[in-house]
Amino acid sequence: MSRTAIAPTVLPIVRLGHPALRKPARALAQAEIRTPNIQALIDDMVATMVDSDGIGLAAPQVGEEIQLFIFGVQPTPEEPDPLVPLQIVVNPMIDPESGELVHDWEGCLSIPGLRGLVPRHQALRLRGFDREGKPVDRRLEGFEARVVQHEFDHLNGVIFLDRMRDLQSLSYAEEAEEHLSEYDASTPGPGPGFAG
């Protein structure tokens, strides 16, 4: 099946308060994945994520209540092999590995400007389907595993604020960077984190 020839569109990203961010998304039927509408949505989501300087985007963030997310960085002439290559995952399932949760900084394109320390599993197994409907089955760890957990949460009506154990780290990115030296040395500083 050929994909649409229409140029991708940058979609509006819904913000906290939109009902799509708080509803569990529905799974796509296998036959739906390769339809022109879903293929066009994937292309639009990639354009939207790139335009927003994000590293992840879930369908509910563009008002589509389906189990689909994208993450990673598109190759460019300057960076032909990005650290996290662009990936599309439909109907994902994750199996976190046991072990201590790791706190790190996260942000969200649907909650612009805010960052906070969020505990996540260090490694996981990701299963689902790619944009062609072929099975995905990978082990991810570190930053990539964190991004996947963040996007997976969006498909279940969960945002990073719900995962924070202590809201004292919640801050606007600009203010946090300006006052970085005022953070206690034992507390990780508000690094760039990511927005997804």
Task: Give SS3 for 117.
Answer: strand
The backbone torsions φ and ψ at residue 157, rounded to the nearest 5 degrees and listed phi first, read 75, 20
Catalytic annotation on 151?
A: yes
- Cβ distance 126 to 89 under 8 Å? yes
Of residues 174, 179, 170, the one with CA closest to residue 192 = 174
- What gap in Å lies between CA 125 and CA 94, rounded to an integer? 6
How many C-beta atoms lie closer than 10 Å to residue 62's C-beta?
21
Contacts of 119 (CB under 8 A, 6+ apart): 101, 102, 103, 163, 165
Which residue in 64, 106, 144, 151 is the catalytic one?
151
Element (H, E) at 107: strand 102-108
Q: Which residues are catalytic?
A: 151
